[in-house]
Structures are given as C-alpha cells and as structure tokens.
C-alpha cells in the first residue's frame, strides 16, 4: 500500500493556497475530504477543482468527498486549515467534532501566529506550524491559479520532542508524496518570520499603492519604503528572540529586486481592490502592535498601516 493511503485527510479553505495544496493531496491520496460551502462546493462536486499551475500544469482534482461542513465527519488523521486569518476561530470551532488526540492539524496560512491561535482554539490533537511560499489565488469560476515555478512549504514545531518531531517529518513526507515540496524545520519560527518579514513589505506596499512588485521596484521612493518595512519587521523579530540574521534580511531584499516576478501582486492587494474583508491586521496591524509592545521603532510600518486602514474604509 502506498504510504499514507489509509489516512483520512481534510482540507478546509479552498482558495489559492488551500486549492493548490488540496488538489495535489486529492490527486495523491484516496481519502481526501474538501470542506467547501455554497457555490464553491457545488462547483467542485460537479466538475472537480480545476488548477491552472505554472509549476504543476493544468489539471482537475476530484477528492473522495466534498462536504458543506465538518459536521458528521469521523475523526481525521490530518486536517489542513487554509482560511483567511479573520475566519480562523470560526473554522477551528467547526472542526471540533472530527478531532481526536491523534489528529494532526496544520494551519497553512499567512501571518506569524496562526499555529499559536489554533492551539488555543483546538486543544486536542497536535498542531504543526507551517508556512508556504506560493503565488496562488482563486478565480471567479472557483478554479485556482498558481503562478511562477515554485511552491515551497515548511512545517515544524519549535523545540519539538521526539514524538512531535516524527509527526512533523511524517507530515512533510505526506506533502512530498503528493508533489508539494515540503521541508521539516527544527527552527520553524525562524522560517515563519523570514516569510512574514517579506510579507510585511510585499502585501502592505502592493496593497496601499495597488502596484505590482515590478512597479514598486521601478520607483526609487517606493523601493526605499519596501526596504524600510523589511527592516522594521526584522527588528521586531530580533526583539522577539527569533533567529533571523542579517543574511536573512539581505536575502529578502535581494528577492524583491531580483527574484519576484514583475507582475506579482498580493492577496491583500487583491482583497482591498475588490472591497472584500482583508488580512490587514495580519500583515500590518500585528507588526505595529508588536513593535509598540517591544519598544521597537517602526514609523514607516505605522504610517502604512494608518493609510491602509483609511483606504479600506473608503
């Protein structure tokens, strides 16, 4: 039997990240359930989950089940939560009936603290922290587009003991077996913060100016703001005791200038532009509050946060 073929796997949140990850899991394993409500759920039941991927190509995934809610699901072996941060508490409460002490829960989400919050909401089971580098978004027809030639995931539990570390490694193997490139990290907080620092600049500045990454690079003033946002978030991470180095900071800046696609946009930018609920508090409010709490100067982050709050109210 193929490894993990007997495992019950549920994916909640079928947007860009959840759709991409869920589709590959459903392609690889027989007992995958998608939780998707309304028109999205009907679309997936009728025609599958359609993926347009630069990395993995065009394909359609058909999970074993597509359900409206977790109510009635038997205890699951793995649950992947891929919702927006403002929906996390509600999502966790909805999953309480399909949990057991052996369930592994992996929030694959934006931000620095979703794992910590899930542990608060779901005390049963084992929560594994994660992050993913990916450019992916859901389309109006409920298909998912993944751009560029990367989709890299990290999982881990900070200071994990032997039993928890095995669960982290098993989770990485589960992902890799589905073609989702995944690494188990002993220092997952450093990995999370390297991505979070990037997003404190990437999401915030693209959203405020409604510019692509290339447009920000071309404007010296906006490029300098991007660097300032990175530096302020990096200083907050250092103040929190996270192991992020000068080399990590420099790599984030290098990626901005030389690695990110010219036309790259952000999830916050798309949500602000469409007038939808946003993760502004995740990408901007959190870092401003943590800077204030820790006594770290973050004037550019504070200014951008204030302007984005006004833009979201407009």
Conformation bin of residue 120: beta by default, left when phi > 0, alpha when psi is -120 to 50: alpha
Burial (Cβ within 10 Å: 0-12, 13-18, ≥19) of residue 223? middle
Task: For tokens 């891929």, name the residue.
Answer: 82
Q: Residues near 152 by Cβ (< 8 Å), separated by ≥ 6? A: 132, 133, 134, 181, 182, 183
Residue 275's nearest CA partner among 185, 181, 210 is 210
pLDDT at 148: 83
The per-residue pLDDT for range 269-288, each reduced to its tens digit, is 999 999 999 999 999 999 99
Span between the terminal Cα atoms of the chain, in Å: 56
Cα–Cα distance between 116 and 114 in angstroms, integer?
5
Cα–Cα distance between 171 and 164 in angstroms, integer?
11
Task: For tokens 């450019």, name the residue.
Answer: 135
The per-residue pLDDT for range 158-213, each reduced to its tens digit, is 999 999 999 999 999 999 999 999 999 999 999 999 999 999 999 999 999 999 99
Residue 38's CB is within 10 A of a number of other CB atoms, namely: 9
- What is the dihedral angle through the alpha carbons of 72, 73, 75, 81, rounded to the nearest 10 degrees? -120
Residue 66 phi, psi (nearest 5): -130, 115
For the residues 246-252, what does the mean pLDDT come to? 98
Share of residues in the chain with pLDDT > 90 (%)? 94
Residue 300's nearest CA partner among 192, 179, 204 is 204
Query: Would the pLDDT of 314 be above 80?
Result: no
Backbone CA torsion sign across 35, 39, 43, 46:
positive
Backbone CA torsion sign across 261, 214, 154, 248:
positive
135 confidence band (pLDDT: 50, 70, 90): confident
Cα–Cα distance between 7 and 73 in angstroms, integer?
14
> Facing residues of 137 across strands?
145
- What string of DSSP letters covers 224-265? HHHHHHHHHHHHHHHHTT----HHHHHHHHHHHHHTS-TT--
Q: Residue 180, SS3?
A: coil
Rounded (10°) angle between helices 220-239 and 286-294: 50
149 confidence band (pLDDT: 50, 70, 90): confident
């Amino acid at each position: 039997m193929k490894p993990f073929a007997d495992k019950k796997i549920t994916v909640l949140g079928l947007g860009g990240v959840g759709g991409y990850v869920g589709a590959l899991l459903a392609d690889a394993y027989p007992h995958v359930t998608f939780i998707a409500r309304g028109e999205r759920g009907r679309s997936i039941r009728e025609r599958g989950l359609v993926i347009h991927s630069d990395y993995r190509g065009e394909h359609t995934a058909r999970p074993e089940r597509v359900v409206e809610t977790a109510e009635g699901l038997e205890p699951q072996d793995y649950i992947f939560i891929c919702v927006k941060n403002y929906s996390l508490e509600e999502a966790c409460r909805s999953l309480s009936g399909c949990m057991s002490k052996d369930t592994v829960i992996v929030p694959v989400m934006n931000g620095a603290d979703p794992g910590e919050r899930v542990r608060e909401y779901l005390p049963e089971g084992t929560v594994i922290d994660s992050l993913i580098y990916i450019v992916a978004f859901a389309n109006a027809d409920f298909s998912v587009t993944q751009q560029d030639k990367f989709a890299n995931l990290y999982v881990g539990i900070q200071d994990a003991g032997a039993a928890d570390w095995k669960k982290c490694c098993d989770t990485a193997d589960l992902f890799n077996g589905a073609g989702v490139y995944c690494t188990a990290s002993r220092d997952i907080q450093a990995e999370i913060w390297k991505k979070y620092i990037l997003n404190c600049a990437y999401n915030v500045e693209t959203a405020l100016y409604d510019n692509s990454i290339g447009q920000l690079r071309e404007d010296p003033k906006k490029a300098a703001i991007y660097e300032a946002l990175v530096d302020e978030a990096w200083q907050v991470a250092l103040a929190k005791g996270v192991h992020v180095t000068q080399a990590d900071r420099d790599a984030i800046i290098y990626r901005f200038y030389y690695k990110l696609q010219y036309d790259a946009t952000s999830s916050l930018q798309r949500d602000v532009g469409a007038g939808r609920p946003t993760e502004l508090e995740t990408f901007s409010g959190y870092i401003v509050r943590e800077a204030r709490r820790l006594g770290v100067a973050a004037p550019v982050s504070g200014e951008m946060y204030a302007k984005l709050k006004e833009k979201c109210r407009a």
